[in-house]
Amino acid sequence: MMSEVENTFPAGPWLQELVRQSLAEDIGKGDATTAVTVDTAAVGHGVLAARDEGHVAGLPLLDLLFAELDPAVKVERLVADGTRVAAGQAVAQLSGPMASVLTGERTALNFLQHLGGIATLTARYVAAVAGTKCRVLDTRKTLPGYRALAKYAVRCGGGHNHRMGLYDRVMLKDNHWAAAGGAISALVGRSRTRFPELDIEVEVDSLAQLAVVLPLKVEWVLLDNFDFDDTAEAVRMREEASVPTLLESSGNVNLETIGGYARAGVDAASVGRLTHSAPALDLGLDMEQS
């Protein structure tokens, strides 16, 4: 049965092209090792298993990858994306021509280990804010071409997606303040006029700046590198102002600090390392000839 998160698995011609390019960069003119070791008529069965505990992500890519490489390879997914698995637990089975399975092995693992690592790290952050209202957000700090997959993996780990790109939210950071000579009110007004359908988020790096921004009633304020005490004061100021603005902590957010920000009362904390520094989830494929 497909999990709820798998209903959001990305799709489109770009994904098929990414799979195609990934296979091409590995195979090149041909898999020389498999050519000299595996009889083209040999069929086999392989089990893809986790070697560490973690959360799996990206299993639907197996279907896309082997459909591109060799449709004779049959894929059976044993768990759903987002599942927490134990070390040694099987997550998928592959059967068919052994040569094709072995040729596609590394590319498949590259996808699943990277995405599983993101999901696993995200789940650790989500656990660190359990019992609070704080959502764990990703950022745009993703590998070029992998953004939709990386953000899907964040969802597999129980996290939430911040903006997908520059097009789906107005994000007024310190450099934008500087470019406009500090006239944040004018920037917000211009944003409302030109992009009325988009949420507006304003970055502040002090409580004084927050006091200026709160009356503008933007949808989000990003508290950049605030300490816990100032974060709690920012939450108090927001409540006193009776505005619907949501507060996001950012900067110096790690597994040791995110709980403190969450307990201070913020609505979300964004973590760039979810997608730019997640260790791979160790997975392996063991083959047997039929």
Catalytic-residue membership of 248? no
Q: Which of 6, 203, 248, 267 is catalytic?
A: 203
Catalytic-residue membership of 74? no
Catalytic-residue membership of 105? no
Catalytic-residue membership of 133? no
Q: Which of 20, 77, 84, 106 is catalytic?
A: 106
Q: Which of 173, 192, 263, 273 is catalytic?
A: 173
Q: Which of 63, 68, 70, 224 is catalytic?
A: 224
Q: Which of 141, 192, 263, 273 is catalytic?
A: 141
**What is the torsion angle, in degrees rounded to the nearest 10, for the CA atoms of residue 48, residue 282, residue 66 and residue 277?**
160
Q: Rounded CA gap, 85 and 51, in Å?
A: 10
Rounded to 5 degrees, what are φ and ψ at 85? -115, 155
CB 260 within 8 A of CB 28: no
Catalytic-residue membership of 224? yes
Q: Could you list the active site residues?
A: 106, 141, 173, 203, 224
